[in-house]
Structure 1
Amino acid sequence: MERKRLNKSKIRHSIECLVINLWKGVDLNGAIPILIIDPGHGGKDPGGGINKYWKEKDMVLDISLYQYNRFKDLGVPIAITRTTDKYLDSGTRSAIVRNSGAKDCISNHINSGGGQGAEMIHSIFNDGKMAQAIADGLKEAGQNVRRVFTRKSGSGDYYYMHRETGNVSTTIVEYGFADNKTDTDRIRKHWKKYAESVVRSYCEYRGHKYSAPGKPLPGLVIDGRLGKNTTIAWQKAMGTPADGIISGQYRNSSTKPILSVDFGPEYTGSILIKAWQRKIGAKPDGFIGPETIRKSQKYLGTPVDGEIWNPSAMVKELQRRLNKGTLV
């Protein structure tokens, strides 16, 4: 949920200097972006849209990474404010957007506070047509749309992502309410569909060529070993960055049989595993352990013992479903 921030103009200069260095590490896909995606919150700021299934910061990162990769596939010059569970204060976040060179920003959030349905919030200084296009797309994708609106504070915008992002036109997208059962169920089941609807709506609004995501099947060897190729196919199916590595894991009996695992040195967990844990109803901490393995085995319909063997019946079934395109 987007929050009002105090204007921190007296530290603006130091933030601008920091952003120059931060921005050098942001993937611009080889071009100045026309759009920058902003996964709200992150790190020590979990956001307000929390329930037993997700923290807002994690769910909006999943949505944002999916959109980021889809825009790259479509050839849209794209950037993103964060790709990991990283804290950005309001000044740094808005400065990254402001200095990106982008025309538009989509800032992704999950709401809370007793309502129901998606909300789009645009600046008081623009016509709201992009926000309305996104709302129409979400409605077509099956999500209830509560409202498209603006909010003032004095003579300016209420939200800092509108006030402090300069010439970049920012639309805040709240996909639903984490404390509403209907929204929670819909987002759990259909978040990729909603994320894709935003991609399509933006492309159509800005006149970029759009094509629906294809489903090329990976053709994995059913060997029961969790290696790089299987991990890449799994990451693609879950809509997370596809590098073939299950990162940030502890070295233990659960992870040693995994060929594609990366142990530490910063035990931050894996974005892939967090997304998978949310899918199967495990604690979304990003780490592979007996609980996650048991729930995976139950989800995949293989014997449940909480261990990964090499070869593994669970991994064989994972490979079969990836090959059929039926995992998620």
Structure 2
Amino acid sequence: MTKIGIDPGHGGSDPGAVAAGELQEKDVTLAVGLDLRHRLQGAGLEVIMSRTEDVDVSLADRAQLFNREQVGLVVSLHVNSAASTTANYVSTFILAPGGQAEKIANAIQPELVAATGWPDGGVREANFYILRQTDAPAVLVEMGFISNPATASLLATIATRQTLARAIYKGLAVYLGLPPDVPMLPTDIQGNWAEAAIRRVIAAGIMSGYPDGSFRPDQPATRAELAAALDRILDKLK
């Protein structure tokens, strides 16, 4: 099983770039990172997060965590900023060309462009710490410009964050040979006594979560919900 490192940039006392409307980069990167984790877990991968909440984590600690866990690849998530409010593109960074990181970046970048419709900033090279200090191939995704008011307003929405996570997942799926899309696993099943069974019925298309992203595993099923699940089973038996 491939182990994936996900690094939501900034956090805690470090907000990262901040939009005029006070949207902070650290919040966008964490939301996308958590969404991406669920998608990768849904495909059966183990995911190591550098942070799962709004806390300070040093660059050294991030790289050391991924190296200690011996992840197979690292995706670091950021949002760009510029002095000009018209800057507007999405890009994926690598340390140097010619390795696996470039292949990962070349798989992710077109998915981001297709999903967002933002201009293609291409795959670029930079001497970023997380790219330099991780043992595994690493890419750093700059998810648009928070300094662009139109982009910032989109980044503040759940829909755009989900779009970004799904695009990055699809790029990783191309690189790793995973299913191109997987059902989103509800966040409230983790640790439940029936978590494994819930994961199987969701993956089989027999049951699904609620529109708000929950599964409510301890809530009794209605007769309608039971009928819907049984109907899906009958369809599969046919």
* Fold equivalence (TM over 0.5): yes
Please identify runs of 4+ aligned residues in structure 1 that moved more than 6 A.
none
After TM superposition, list the pairs within 5 Å mapping 1:80-99 onto structure 2: 80-99=49-68
| Pair 1:63–1:215, CA change in 2 (3 A) | closer
Question: Deviation of residue 198 (structure 1)?
Answer: 0.7
| Pair 1:48–1:88, CA change in 2 (3 A) | same
Residue type matched to 2:145 in 1? F
Question: Mean alpha-carbon deviation: is it higher for 41-50 or for 178-187?
Answer: 178-187
TM-score, structure 2 as length reference: 0.70
Number of aligned positions between the proteins? 187
Q: Find the counterpart in structure 1 of residue 106 from structure 2.
A: 132
| Pair 1:215–1:164, CA change in 2 (3 A) | closer
Whether contact under 8 Å (1:119, 1:135) holds in the other structure is yes
| Pair 1:104–1:214, CA change in 2 (3 A) | closer
Question: Mean alpha-carbon deviation: is it higher for 45-54 or for 198-207?
Answer: 45-54
| Pair 1:49–1:84, CA change in 2 (3 A) | same
Higher relative contact order by CA 8 Å / sep ≥ 6: 1 or 2? 2
TM-score, structure 1 as length reference: 0.52
1:148 aligns with 2:123: yes
SS of residue matched to 1:99 = helix
Whether contact under 8 Å (2:19, 2:149) holds in the other structure is no
Encode CA deviations 1:106-150: one digit per residue, 9 max, x unaligned.
100111013211110012154412112111001111332222110
SS of residue matched to 1:79 = strand
After TM superposition, list the pairs within 5 Å mapping 1:165-176 onto structure 2: 165-166=134-135, 168-176=136-144
Question: Mean alpha-carbon deviation: is it higher for 123-132 or for 79-88?
Answer: 123-132
Q: Percent identity?
A: 24
In 1: Cα distance, 2:108 partner to 2:43 partner: 18
Q: Find the counterpart in structure 1 of residue 4 from structure 2.
A: 35
Q: Structure 2 regions of 5+ residues with no counterpart?
A: 187-208, 218-238
Whether contact under 8 Å (2:39, 2:184) holds in the other structure is no
Question: Mean alpha-carbon deviation: is it higher for 38-47 or for 116-125?
Answer: 116-125
After TM superposition, list the pairs within 5 Å mapping 1:19-34 onto structure 2: 33-34=2-3
Larger radius of gyration: 1
Match of 1:236 among 191, 204, 213: 213
Q: Structure 1 regions of 5+ residues with no counterpart?
A: 1-30, 152-157, 217-231, 245-328
Question: Deviation of residue 234 (structure 1)?
Answer: 7.2
Match of 1:191 among 139, 155, 161: 161
Whether contact under 8 Å (2:38, 2:185) holds in the other structure is no
SS of residue matched to 1:141 = helix
